[in-house]
């Protein structure tokens, strides 16, 4: 979309602009530089970057991947190789995800829809306005269609709490469909009962209830949630038993664990038979200790905390003042230091399969500065950077919001010897290589020096001089004088 707008406006803006520039560097080739109206560069292969109106419009294409941003409103990612499109409007307000098999969209997190396809034919569609309207249409299995207008009437498939559930004037009547039985409530949750071939039970909440299914479970409670006993996996050699009289005690026992709380939830102990881990709780979750073959816990918050496993370690000193974390997944290892969560954030990652390779490093000095080294000689830095530390793995936020605050940016590549610096959304821009320097101030000034050439211009040719080898030319009132 953005490239179409750019191509349509390109000639008109060229006539109105006072300056233009074209130069070949060891870095990306600047096709046109009409900052802040637009700036276009072309890199190796099929890579292309276009910027319009400073940080407002931007697109970058590299091979089959393209992203386009209209800041601060929308960003779109397109992969022509996988035929995938991801569009975001004021993320996380609206999301659109499209693949050959599925289309998903979500508005404000609670209005959403999906469409499943196979062979170009629509198999299933869903629509919901949580928690009011739910619609599920399955063309392959019409018997599984569902529609509900909460709380009036309907059926909801795979609800968050009850699985498949039907209701009329909820909470006056509800029916949850379970594999072993049908559970009814009228009104929910006060009066409930269960019917099935090998299941039975009922409850008068919160005074008491008892539900059971042969070989599966036996659940009962009295004066909920204070007194309870639940047994699951009745057909297992050692069923899982959970019982308690809160807040005096709570116990869980199974084939793999024993967990006892005294003065729930503050004191007690836990022993995991399969891992050998034993935990003692003095004042959970602040004071506790745990030891095992692959896991240890020392927690005396807010003074000190140290939790270790075979793959990770997390430590706090004077929480939340200083934090240290390290870990590995077999291929990569990381080390992270934090001061007051986000004020200072420093993370290094290195390869365990290539120990000689340099690590990558990401540093945030919130909200002012972010710097990244990829371990292969490439460096990126940005000033001002208020969002990056909060959304380190969010590509939409990185592309859409972060550039709006980029008063200064730096990109350098030690392999090619190219360094780029931009101030005020590239209105002031400098590109350096080992042999050349190009410096521009929007349409006002251009200075380009390289092997066998030198150039200086004001206002795109109002006044300037250019030397190529032994030839010298002057520019005056946009005319060239040899």
**Among 333, 306, 330, which Cα is nearest to 317's?**
306
d(CA 113, CA 111): 7
Residue 210, H or E segment: strand 208-213
- Domain contains 471: yes
Q: Which residue has the tokens 């929910």?
A: 188
- Domain contains 72: no
Which residues fall within 8 angstroms of residue 311, CB to CB, at 6 or more apart?
Answer: 327, 328, 329
Check whether 350 has a pLDDT greater than 60.
yes
- Domain contains 480: yes
| pLDDT mean across residues, the chain | 88
Give the range of the structural domain holding residue 466, as residue numbers without chain letter. Answer: 454-482
Check whether 17 has a pLDDT greater than 60.
no
**Tokens of residue 392, six digits:** 């380190």
- Number of C-beta neighbours around residue 118 at 10 A: 12
With beta carbons less than 8 A apart as the criterion, state whether 151 and 167 touch: yes
Task: Tell me the pTM.
Answer: 0.75
- Domain contains 479: yes
Query: By CB neighbour count within 10 A (0-12 exposed, 13-18 middle, 19+ buried), where does 17 fall?
Result: middle
* Bridge partners of residue 465, in order along the sequence: 456, 474
**Among 290, 395, 389, 287, which Cα is nearest to 337's?**
389
- Number of C-beta neighbours around residue 59 at 10 A: 21
With beta carbons less than 8 A apart as the criterion, state whether 428 and 422 touch: yes
pLDDT tens-digit series, residues 285-331? 999 999 998 899 999 999 999 999 989 999 999 988 999 999 998 89
d(CA 48, CA 27): 13
Percent of the chain's residues with pLDDT above 90: 62
pLDDT tens-digit series, residues 363-412? 999 999 999 999 889 999 999 999 888 888 888 988 899 888 989 999 99
- Domain contains 475: yes
With beta carbons less than 8 A apart as the criterion, state whether 25 and 433 touch: yes
Report how many domains make up the chain: 1
Which residues fall within 8 angstroms of residue 240, CB to CB, at 6 or more apart?
Answer: 231, 232, 233, 252, 253, 254, 255
- Domain contains 12: no
Buried (b) or exposed (e) across 247-273, using 16+ Cβ within 10 A? Answer: eeebbbebeeeebbbeebebbbbbbbe
**Tokens of residue 346, six digits:** 């420093």
- Domain contains 277: no
pLDDT band at 129 (very low <50, low <70, confident <90, very high): very high
- Domain contains 68: no
- For residue 262, report the phi and psi dihedrals to the nearest 5 degrees: -115, 125
pLDDT tens-digit series, residues 238-292? 999 999 999 999 999 999 999 999 999 999 999 999 989 999 999 999 999 999 9
d(CA 426, CA 455): 20
Helix (H, G, I), strand (E, B) or coil at 190: coil
């Amino acid at each position: 979309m953005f490239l179409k707008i750019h191509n349509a406006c390109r000639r008109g803006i060229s006539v109105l602009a006072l300056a233009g520039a074209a130069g070949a560097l060891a870095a990306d080739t600047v096709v046109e530089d009409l900052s802040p109206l637009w700036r276009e560069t072309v890199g190796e292969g099929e890579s292309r970057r276009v910027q319009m109106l400073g940080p407002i419009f931007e697109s970058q294409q590299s091979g089959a991947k393209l992203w386009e941003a209209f800041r601060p409103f929308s960003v779109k990612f397109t992969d022509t190789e996988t035929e995938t499109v991801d569009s975001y409007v004021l993320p996380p307000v609206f999301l659109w995800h499209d693949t050959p098999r599925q289309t998903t969209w979500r508005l404000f997190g609670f209005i959403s829809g999906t469409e499943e396809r196979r062979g170009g034919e629509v198999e299933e569609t869903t629509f919901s306005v949580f928690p009011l309207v739910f619609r599920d249409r399955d063309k392959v299995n019409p018997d599984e269609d569902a529609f509900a207008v909460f709380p009036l009437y309907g059926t909801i498939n795979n609800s968050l709490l009850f699985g498949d559930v039907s209701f009329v004037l909820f909470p006056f009547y509800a029916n949850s469909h379970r594999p072993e039985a049908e559970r009814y409530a009228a009104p929910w949750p006060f009066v409930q009962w269960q019917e099935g071939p090998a299941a039975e039970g009922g409850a008068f909440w919160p005074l008491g209830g008892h539900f059971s299914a042969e070989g599966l479970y036996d659940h009962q409670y009295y004066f909920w949630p204070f007194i309870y006993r639940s047994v699951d996996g009745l057909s297992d050699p050692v069923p899982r038993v959970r019982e308690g009289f809160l807040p005096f005690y709570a116990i869980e026992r199974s084939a793999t664990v024993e967990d006892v709380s005294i003065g729930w939830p503050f004191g007690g102990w836990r022993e995991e038979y399969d891992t050998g881990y034993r935990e003692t709780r003095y004042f959970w979750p602040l004071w506790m200790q745990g030891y095992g073959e692959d896991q240890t816990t020392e927690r005396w918050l807010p003074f000190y905390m140290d939790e270790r496993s075979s793959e990770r370690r997390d430590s706090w000193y004077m929480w939340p003042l200083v934090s240290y974390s390290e870990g590995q997944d077999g291929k990569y290892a990381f080390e992270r230091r934090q001061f007051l969560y986000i004020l200072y954030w420093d993370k290094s990652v290195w390869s365990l399969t290539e120990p000689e390779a340099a690590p990558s490093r990401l540093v945030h000095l919130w909200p002012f500065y972010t710097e990244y080294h990829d371990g292969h000689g490439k460096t990126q830095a940005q000033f001002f950077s208020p969002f990056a530390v909060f959304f380190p793995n969010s590509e939409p936020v990185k592309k859409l919001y972060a550039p709006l605050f980029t008063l200064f940016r730096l990109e350098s590549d030690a392999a090619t010897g190219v360094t780029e610096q931009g101030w005020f959304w590239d209105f002031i821009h400098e590109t350096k290589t080992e042999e050349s320097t190009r410096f521009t101030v929007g349409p006002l000034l251009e200075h380009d020096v390289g092997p066998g050439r030198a150039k200086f211009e004001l206002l795109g040719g109002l006044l300037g001089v250019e030397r190529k080898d032994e030839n010298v030319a002057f520019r005056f009132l946009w005319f060239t004088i040899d």
